[in-house]
Amino acid sequence: MKKLITGLLTTLLFSILIGCSEDDLTLNEESTSNAQSLKEYEITENDLIKIRKLNFNTLGLRLVDRKNTDGTFEKYYIIEEDIMIPFDQVNEMISSNNSAKQYHSNNIVTNNRNITIRGVNQGANDLTISQQNALTQAIQNYNDLDIGLNFILTFGPRDNTMDINAIEIIDSRAGASADFPFNGNPGPEVRIFSGTRNLNAQILRHIWIHEFGHTLGLRHTDWFSRESCGLDSSEPINPPGFPNANGANHIPGTPTGFDPNSVMIACYNNSVPGEFGGFDIVALNFLYPLSLSLTGSSLICNNSTEIYNLNNTNFPITWTTSSNLQILSSSDNSITVKPVNSSFNGSGFIQGTSPTQNIRKDVWVGKAVVDYIEFGNGIGETDYFCSSHYGNTYDIFPRLPGTTHQIRVRRWPSLSIVYSPSTNYSGNSGTLNYTPSPGWYVFEIRRTNPCGTSEWFETEVEFVDCSNNEGGGEF
């Protein structure tokens, strides 16, 4: 199976085959019967080359005039019998293609967002009750995937502030059409045909799932052969002379051949289950991965064991940790770690890597330590305290959550303790409410966290008479 996305806004006319008997209308007959009024142009070799550059199947390629809603006519290519692309957009599509990988281009929907959908049930183009019920089920199927997109469906009159409007149009065919995404937004409209009114719930659900796949950028999975339509029109995935012309590369974990279970095949019969195929799910998770979050304690004490949980249900995860942690056990949604030894105190990390993203959690291992202290004196200077006013401050590094600290001051060089409040101060900074005579002192801090209390950290600091400078609170 190949999951594909094309560039720019295109309109997909999704034609359905119901049953497989000789009396059934074929896709070719149906397309012709609905296009008799269109002016047709001769296909040239240049037309074929352009469409091949976009990695579309050129069997049956047509170029026609189509009447727009404003009454004007515009040239369109009809590709693979049910995809319509404006003639004037093809060159832009070719020039805008990048070497994106995994059978998709850059023209997909921005991930990790809500997609708002209005099921129109009032006014023109309102959906039938059965179409509404099937739409509700289809959107629930998308939300059940736990991908990075969250779909919000409401019913009411048409609302163009929504990302997508789902409507019914008068068309006797049992099918639907949808727009492709553009500028990071989903295709703005899905149109189910009035010819679907007598279809059962499974087929209606299949149609909605398929068409919303197009609004997210999915192409027909058998675009290269249209095997689901009973055709054998294979072309190389990258035609000779156009290697990776539109960035069409295979999505890992999906087949490279025909997948009859895909909801995105071009044609299907009345036995469809109305559900995603297994590889459809793989492809959507690859294109729109759920933003992973790793939960667990940000502190690991030296003799403790900690479990971290990952909200992952779709991908294999490779785990790594900092050198001061060892992995005791792991799965695709959790990892259990402990410190390598009981004497190390410092920073560490746990990281999970999936095929689409990395998730990392930084942790502290062991007791809270002091690496260095920055001083402030209320007059905009650093590295010394003022003995002439209040407003001397200190900042402790590294900055750690959930810690308290004690301070004391020793006179240099006797090292006698001249200030030692009993208070345990919270946080990573404080104000020194002590103003000794000018001279050199030793400023000491020790920190406490749930793992214990550190040794005293000491550093020399000078108290200077700052009475001739502005700032602080003189006394």
User: For the segment 268-289, what is each residue's pLDDT rounded down to a tens digit?
Assistant: 788 899 999 999 998 898 889 8
Q: What is the mean pLDDT of residues 354-365?
A: 92
The pLDDT score that the predictor gives to residue 325 is: 97
pLDDT greater than 90 at residue 409: yes
Q: What is the mean pLDDT of residues 208-213?
A: 94
11-287 has which CATH code? 3.40.390.10
* 185 or 469: which leads in pLDDT: 185
Range picked from 37-51, 89-103, 333-347 for highest mean pLDDT? 333-347
Number of Cβ within 10 Å of residue 244's Cβ equals 15
* 335 or 261: which leads in pLDDT: 335
Pairing of strands 404-411, 425-426: antiparallel
Q: Which amino acid is at 435?
A: T
The pLDDT score that the predictor gives to residue 321 is: 98
Q: Which CATH class is domain 294-365?
A: mainly beta
User: Considering only 6-15, 16-25, 170-179, 257-266, which range has the smallest mean pLDDT?
Assistant: 16-25
Question: What confidence tier does 109 reach under pLDDT thresholds 50, 70, 90?
Answer: very high
pLDDT greater than 50 at residue 237: no
Question: What confidence tier does 259 reach under pLDDT thresholds 50, 70, 90?
Answer: confident
Domain layout of the chain by residue ranges: 11-287, 294-365, 372-474
Average pLDDT, the chain: 82
Share of the chain above pLDDT 70, in %: 80
pLDDT greater than 50 at residue 234: no
Q: What is the mean pLDDT of residues 36-65?
A: 81
What backbone phi and psi angles, to 5 degrees, belong to 5? -135, 140
Give per-residue pLDDT as tens, 294-347.
999 999 999 999 999 999 877 889 999 999 999 999 999 999 999 999 889 999
Q: How many CA atoms lie within 13 A of 448 on its CB side?
A: 9
372-474 has which CATH code? 2.60.40.10
Model pTM above 0.75:
no
Pairing of strands 452-453, 325-330: unpaired
The pLDDT score that the predictor gives to residue 284 is: 93
Question: What confidence tier does 56 reach under pLDDT thresholds 50, 70, 90?
Answer: confident
Question: What confidence tier does 383 reach under pLDDT thresholds 50, 70, 90?
Answer: confident
The pLDDT score that the predictor gives to residue 96 is: 54
The pLDDT score that the predictor gives to residue 18 is: 30
Identical fold between 11-287 and 372-474: no
Query: Which residues, in sequence order, are bridge partners of residue 474?
Result: 389
The pLDDT score that the predictor gives to residue 67 is: 64
The pLDDT score that the predictor gives to residue 15 is: 36
